[in-house]
Amino acid sequence: MHELSGCPVCHAPTSGATACSTADRTYDGKTVLAACCVEALANLYLAQKTTSEEFAILKWTRFIEKWTVLPSLFVPNYSFPKDGELYQDLKRLSARRNALVYLKEAVSRDGAALHPGLHPDVASDESVFIGRCQSLPDRLLEHLASFDKTDVIVQIKTVRELVPVLRKMRRRLNMA
């Protein structure tokens, strides 16, 4: 018989059969959403800078490379230092997202481990990191804007500024 260990609520790996904390599930959700936002922003930039044929190929690039490498195709002096907090946050977000999205449970049969499982790393500064994830899309866009002076950046910033306004309008309409 195969035995899976993990949270009985969300099926995330845990030590034993106890449920993981609400904070863990909240952090996991925020991590995945932050990664989606970071990738969507990169794809928006790429879609504005490429033909539909080029975008069809480049959209499959890992999201780290969408920020560290691909802008150099359009902006000659673009660089993304790998020794700074911005890169470290992007790299950590990517690793944590992958561990959550491609989660592998620990599996054993008759007491023998068949697969040790793939568990997302949780650091002692997890809440601080999640806070930085909230600002990561804006920080990445500002970094890109420091190199790319075209109107594409202005258009993307305009769209990002409209989102909260549209949400507010939607809430008001739903209340009426």
pLDDT at position 38 is 94
19, part of any domain:
yes
Q: What is the pLDDT of residues 6-52, one digit of tens each?
A: 554 444 445 444 445 555 556 678 888 889 999 999 999 999 999 99
C-alpha to C-alpha distance for 33 and 108, rounded to whole angstroms: 32
H helices then E strands: how many in the chain?
A: 6, 3
Overall domain count for the chain: 1
172, part of any domain:
no
Q: Are 145 and 153 in contact (CB under 8 A)?
A: yes
165, part of any domain:
no
109, part of any domain:
yes
Range of the domain at 6: 2-149
155, part of any domain:
no
Report CA dihedral (90, 157, 28, 83) to the nearest 10 degrees: 10
Q: What is the pLDDT along the chain (176 residues), one digit of tens a residue?
A: 444 445 544 444 454 444 455 555 566 788 888 899 999 999 999 999 999 999 999 999 998 999 999 999 999 999 999 999 999 999 999 988 888 887 777 788 888 888 777 666 665 667 788 888 889 999 999 999 999 999 999 999 988 888 888 888 888 888 76
169, part of any domain:
no
> Is the overall model pTM greater than 0.85, yes or no?
no
56, part of any domain:
yes
pLDDT at position 120 is 61
168, part of any domain:
no
